[in-house]
A and B are shown apart, each in its own frame.
Chain A
Amino acid sequence: METITSIKPLLAVLVSLLVTPLLVSSRTPNVREAWTFVAAIAKFLIVLSMLPTILKGTEIVYTVAEFLPGAAIKFRVDSFGMLFALVSSSLWIITTVYSIGYMRGLKEHSQTRYFCFFAIALSATIGVAFSANLLTLYLFYEILSLATYPLVCHHQDHEARSSGRKYLLYIVGTSIGLALPAMLISYNLAGTLEFGNQGFLAGTASKPLIGLLLFMFIFGFAKAAIMPFHSWLPAAMVAPTPVSALLHAVAVVKVGVFSVVRVLTGVFGTDLLLSFDLGSIILVVCSFTILVGSLIALSQDGLKRMLAFSTIAQLSYIVLGIGLLSPKGLTGGMLHIAMHAFGKITLFFCAGAIFVATGKKNISEMIGIGRRMPITMGAFFIGALSITGLPPCGGFWSKWYLLLGSLEANQMAIVVVLLLSSFLNACYFMPIVYKAFFCKPEDSLFENKVREAPVCCVVPLVITAVISIVFLFYPEPFLELATMTVSRIMGVQI
């Protein structure tokens, strides 16, 4: 594998961090938002400028400080990290537009704090994506946990307080209590923390110890919301909607999943998992989360809470894809990071737009809302299709690959789980869309003519919905990045 050294990864991480003093010192909200935009676009461009190099099969590395042999603060941009960085940095731009519309539309307090911590959270997200080893990943993982705390608790009321407690308890508790010791034990076993194509733990420990480490890592990165460590996510929905949208559908939860995937492939290695037959444990845990998450989502009335449970289920698809330990399964899992991100952020944007325009939070209050907000509900429909995995949306690709992967791995039970889950997805999404458009409004609020949320809220959700459709016809570059990663890891061409 060819590598080049470049400071670009560091820049991509730092750009949003360095902008925070400017945000704090900005005199007017307009200047502040302008700086956020500059940072978001700069970040995206830096990430994008590395894409051609990555697609050529070259990796970009940059070492900040060597702490111990094999455990430096070091960045390495590979195809998988690129995939994730591309998703989160592009969505940050869109979310910034949306945030402006949402925060101003509701006249929220402490907007400067909000934008600052948002920027820091994005720095940490990109940092995780570009980590070359477990130490760096852990570092940015922790920064992300703490940077999102003020965002989750933005409203500073009693509800935010108890949710914030839950959030910290689950996220920081598991990372210090499980992931940190697992990392230290791994380091003591292998003498390195550098992610390898086939991991670094192979041949260093017995099956029980490897199994224990696997358990500690999977549940230690609780941001992946694998049951039973999932309940922070619905609680975190007290945050303003842009936070839920970008962080709790894309950045934070995907960081969790990304970390788990990185650990499974780069620390354990697929061969080791295969030889110890540990993939089936992952499959069981993930299938359980998928089905139970979807079932709980069915029973929810709060729109954002419903989306949260849907997210919990969808996140496990990604880990499940890795757990299949087959090339197509891995591809599907990684691809789902991108596809789910665009679909779910659309849905969250819609929930926020409805809240800004009408103040409604519950599904039961949204009967007939399609007459008043047709664009929003149209986008909601597309997002829902993408999550369910139906054409004409990008979500179809990832589910297709996951199905192929489970056939490839001869896991017929997983095929059933996937199909059942898609059915459940349709069950909880489609009634909302149906009632929105075809039922007679019970609320006089919806009887008048079309009145959408502010433009800043509507445009982003239209964009993400359109992109979701575009992905069906043009899943590049994400598909290519995913297949590149898989062929590098498994040593096979797909």
Chain B
Amino acid sequence: MSQQYPALLIIVPLLSALLISITGWINKRLCFPIAVAALAVSAYSCIGLLLRVVDEGVIVYRLGGWDPPMGIAYYVDHLNALVLVVVSVVALINLIGSKKSIELEMPGKTAPFYALYVLQVTGLLGVVVTGDAFNLYVLLEITALSGYAMLAMGDDRAPLSTLNYLYIGTIGACFYLLGVGYLYIVTGSLNMVDIANILPPLYESKAVLAAFIICLVGVWLKMAFFPLHAWLPNAYTHAPSAASSLIAPLVTKVMIYVMIRLILTVFTPEFTFNILAISEPIVWLAVVAIFMGAILALAERNLKKMLTYIIVAEVGYMVGGAWLGNRLGMTGAILHIVNDALMTLCAFMVVSNVAYKLKGYAFDDLKGLFRKMPFTMGAFVVAALSMIGVPPTCGFFSKWYLISGAIQSGQYAFMVALLFSSLVNVVLFFRVIEICFYEPFSDHHGHGHDHHAEPMAEAPVSMLVPLYVVAGGLILVGIYTSDIVNYVIEFAIPKSIL
């Protein structure tokens, strides 16, 4: 059984997506349990895989028994096992937590939504697990298409902003495909490991350079790396809560994973860091991304949109960290994939709780929220602390690695950018907390009494429990950072990176 984990984690959700859409015609109430069961199986397989990888090392799984490079092989090493666990667990928790919100926001469309949701997760898991460059493109598009459909189910402006996302997303995927085409021309292979083996004598070739740059730009488009970020804020803001709390934590992070996979496995660090020598400009670009993300977030007066700009800044963290070209920076980037997925999930789940109870999530709607939804806001504070980078939440530790990496490679601008972004996050989150904490002002100046306040109107328990699982996770992951780094990330980075 455990031999088949790599296949199970894709096939089960894929088939259940079909099953859900069929079941939707018969009995809508069955869709949710099926979706949960499918994702639970995926999550179970992913965790099993991670444990096995930690135990035994890299696992190669040949789909249908065909040997690479002819057939498609799934390579599961420490890097993607970790990301697999993140993707499947985040998707599962979010699905459980957003049942009520899905029913409220999309009555009558729940069955297709669940099907798309599971399909999206299938795509994401596939992107992470596959060892084939072309296969990755197909799964990328599966992810993207199901994502477009889910995002477009949001408010009035959702279809337009999704359409804009679709244009950019398609360009991004096409660029990636083009890059793979060039790689295929020079190597004759699509298997990532195979390509890596064939490439070394060709490092000086212009075609390889072109392939790398084109792939990189494609991936950047998809991860909303500044200045290619314009599609992200609107697309995520107008989406349904459940969709944005799935897509916001995962899609950008999986694209970061793809970038790191390209750097580490396909093109090898020797090529990317030593021969290309474009690390420094890219880190500078990341610095600009962080600054711009932070500044644009400051200008927002809407909680959800503010969070989307923070994602833009966080993408800058990870791109910069990965391109520092040293072990600490790479560790920070990989660790931040995990941490940022959890942090973003926590923040967006809070938004979906707020949206469940209130009319909207513009700052003006949030007044007095601490009294109204104390538990939701408690989790929000934890998420905020993690994004600011206060120990012992996990955000602090990845920032630690990133800044250490910046110091080690002498990229002080990157360090300043990270600190700047932390400070801006303090302003951003405490501005929200302030609004929720103070208003409406009580009648008795300075000495308000309880009976003036609005009654408590907390989100249902089924939304709160998953939220608190995530909030607790932020702290637990922070405390066990050393285990994640020592047992997993340490092995995910090739020895050649010092």
Q: Do chains A and B touch in the complex (CB under 8 A)?
A: yes
Whether, in the assembled complex, A2 has its beta carbon less than 8 Å from a beta carbon of chain B, the answer is no
Check if B447 sits within 8 Å of A106, measured CB to CB: yes
Q: Which residue of A lies closest to B391 (CB)?
A: A139
Q: With A168-B426, A185-B407 as given contacts, are A157 and B389 in contact (CB-CB < 8 Å)?
A: no
Interface string of B457-498 (1 = CB under 8 A from A): 000000000000000000000011110000000000000000
Check if A67 sits within 8 Å of B441, measured CB to CB: no
Check if A66 sits within 8 Å of B390, measured CB to CB: no
In the complex, A78→B423 CA distance in Å? 34
Check if A156 sits within 8 Å of B430, measured CB to CB: no
Q: How close is B165's CB to chain A, nearest CB, in angstroms? A: 34
Q: With A146-B390, A172-B426, A176-B419 as given contacts, are A161 and B434 in contact (CB-CB < 8 Å)?
A: yes
Q: How close is B429's CB to chain A, nearest CB, in angstroms? A: 10
Check if A184 sits within 8 Å of B392, measured CB to CB: no
Check if A150 sits within 8 Å of B407, measured CB to CB: no
In the complex, A139→B434 CA distance in Å? 23
Check if B403 sits within 8 Å of A65, measured CB to CB: no
Q: Which residues of A contact B445 (CB under 8 A)?
A: 157
In the complex, A264→B263 CA distance in Å? 43
Is the contact region of chain B dominated by helix, strand, or loop, or is it mixed?
Answer: helix
Question: CB < 8 Å: which of A65, A67, A138, A155 contacts B446?
Answer: A155
Whether, in the assembled complex, A492 has its beta carbon less than 8 Å from a beta carbon of chain B, the answer is no
Whether, in the assembled complex, A56 has its beta carbon less than 8 Å from a beta carbon of chain B, the answer is no
Check if A108 sits within 8 Å of B447, measured CB to CB: yes
Whether, in the assembled complex, A68 has its beta carbon less than 8 Å from a beta carbon of chain B, the answer is yes
Whether, in the assembled complex, A392 has its beta carbon less than 8 Å from a beta carbon of chain B, the answer is no
Q: Which residue of B lies closest to A173 (CB)?
A: B423
Check if A177 sits within 8 Å of B423, measured CB to CB: yes
Q: Which residue of A lies closest to B368 (CB)?
A: A156
Check if B385 sits within 8 Å of A156, measured CB to CB: no
Q: With A67-B481, A150-B437, A161-B438 as given contacts, are A187 and B404 in contact (CB-CB < 8 Å)?
A: yes
Bin chain A's interface residue count.
Answer: 35 or more
Q: Which residues of A contact B403 (CB under 8 A)?
A: 180-181, 184
In the complex, A146→B419 CA distance in Å? 18
Interface string of A146-175 (1 = CB under 8 A from B): 100010010111111100110010001100
Check if B389 sits within 8 Å of A176, measured CB to CB: yes
In the complex, A410→B408 CA distance in Å? 42
In the complex, A138→B449 CA distance in Å? 36
Q: With A65-B480, A68-B482, A173-B423 as given contacts, are A109 and B447 in contact (CB-CB < 8 Å)?
A: yes
Whether, in the assembled complex, B397 has its beta carbon less than 8 Å from a beta carbon of chain A, the answer is yes
Check if B442 sits within 8 Å of A156, measured CB to CB: yes
Q: Which residues of B contact A308 (CB under 8 A)?
A: none
Q: How close is B480's CB to chain A, nearest CB, in angstroms? A: 7
Check if A142 sits within 8 Å of B390, measured CB to CB: yes
Within 8 A of A (CB), among B419-447: 419, 422-423, 426, 430, 434, 437-438, 441-442, 445-447
Whether, in the assembled complex, A257 has its beta carbon less than 8 Å from a beta carbon of chain B, the answer is no
Q: Which residues of B contact A176 (CB under 8 A)?
A: 388-389, 419, 422-423, 426
In the complex, A181→B423 CA distance in Å? 12
Q: Which residues of B contact A156 (CB under 8 A)?
A: 437-438, 441-442, 448
Q: Which residues of A contact B442 (CB under 8 A)?
A: 109, 156-157
Q: With A138-B391, A184-B404 as given contacts, are A164 and B434 in contact (CB-CB < 8 Å)?
A: yes
Check if B426 sits within 8 Å of A180, measured CB to CB: no
Whether, in the assembled complex, A364 has its beta carbon less than 8 Å from a beta carbon of chain B, the answer is no
In the complex, A327→B389 CA distance in Å? 38
In the complex, A161→B439 CA distance in Å? 10
Check if B400 sits within 8 Å of A184, measured CB to CB: yes
Q: Which residues of A contact B389 (CB under 8 A)?
A: 176
Q: How close is B32's CB to chain A, nearest CB, in angstroms? A: 32
Whether, in the assembled complex, B59 has its beta carbon less than 8 Å from a beta carbon of chain A, the answer is no
In the complex, A445→B391 CA distance in Å? 51
Q: How close is B294's CB to chain A, nearest CB, in angstroms? A: 13
Q: Which residues of B contact A164 (CB under 8 A)?
A: 434
Whether, in the assembled complex, A272 has its beta carbon less than 8 Å from a beta carbon of chain B, the answer is no
Q: With A142-B391, A161-B438, A172-B426 as given contacts, are A67 and B449 in contact (CB-CB < 8 Å)?
A: no
Check if A180 sits within 8 Å of B479, measured CB to CB: no
In the complex, A109→B443 CA distance in Å? 13
Question: CB < 8 Å: which of B385, B415, B479 contacts A181?
Answer: B415
In the complex, A181→B445 CA distance in Å? 41
Within 8 A of B (CB), among A119-155: 135, 138-139, 142-143, 146, 150, 153, 155
Q: Which residue of A lies closest to B483 (CB)?
A: A65
Q: Which residues of B contact A150 (CB under 8 A)?
A: 437
Check if A65 sits within 8 Å of B479, measured CB to CB: yes
Q: Which residues of A contact B397 (CB under 8 A)?
A: 67
Q: Which residues of B contact A187 (CB under 8 A)?
A: 404
Q: Which residue of B lies closest to A72 (CB)?
A: B482
Whether, in the assembled complex, B56 has its beta carbon less than 8 Å from a beta carbon of chain A, the answer is no
Whether, in the assembled complex, B55 has its beta carbon less than 8 Å from a beta carbon of chain A, the answer is no
Q: Which residue of B lies closest to A158 (CB)?
A: B441
Interface string of B269-291 (1 = CB under 8 A from A): 00000000000000000000000
Whether, in the assembled complex, A73 has its beta carbon less than 8 Å from a beta carbon of chain B, the answer is yes
Q: How close is A358's CB to chain B, nearest CB, in angstroms? A: 16
Q: Which of B408, B446, B449 gathers the greatest number of chain A CB atoms within 10 Å?
A: B446
Within 8 A of B (CB), among A38-76: 64-68, 73
Whether, in the assembled complex, A27 has its beta carbon less than 8 Å from a beta carbon of chain B, the answer is no
In the complex, A109→B449 CA distance in Å? 5
Q: Which residues of B contact A146 (CB under 8 A)?
A: 385, 390
Q: Which residues of A contact B448 (CB under 8 A)?
A: 109, 155-156
Whether, in the assembled complex, A188 has its beta carbon less than 8 Å from a beta carbon of chain B, the answer is yes
Q: Which residues of B contact A157 (CB under 8 A)?
A: 438, 441-442, 445-446
Whether, in the assembled complex, A107 has its beta carbon less than 8 Å from a beta carbon of chain B, the answer is yes
In the complex, A160→B439 CA distance in Å? 12
Whether, in the assembled complex, B450 has its beta carbon less than 8 Å from a beta carbon of chain A, the answer is yes
Q: Which residue of B lies closest to A161 (CB)?
A: B438
Q: Which of A135, A138, A155, A176 gathers the greatest number of chain B CB atoms within 10 Å?
A: A176
19 interchain pairs, CB-CB under 8 A: A73-B392, A109-B448, A135-B391, A142-B391, A155-B446, A155-B448, A156-B437, A156-B441, A157-B438, A168-B430, A173-B423, A176-B388, A176-B419, A176-B423, A180-B422, A181-B403, A184-B403, A184-B407, A185-B407
Q: Which 8 A-B pairs have the closest CB atoms?
A: A139-B391, A155-B446, A142-B390, A188-B407, A109-B448, A157-B446, A176-B422, A67-B482
Q: Which residues of A contact B (CB under 8 A)?
A: 64-68, 73, 106-110, 135, 138-139, 142-143, 146, 150, 153, 155-161, 164-165, 168, 172-173, 176-177, 180-181, 184-185, 187-188
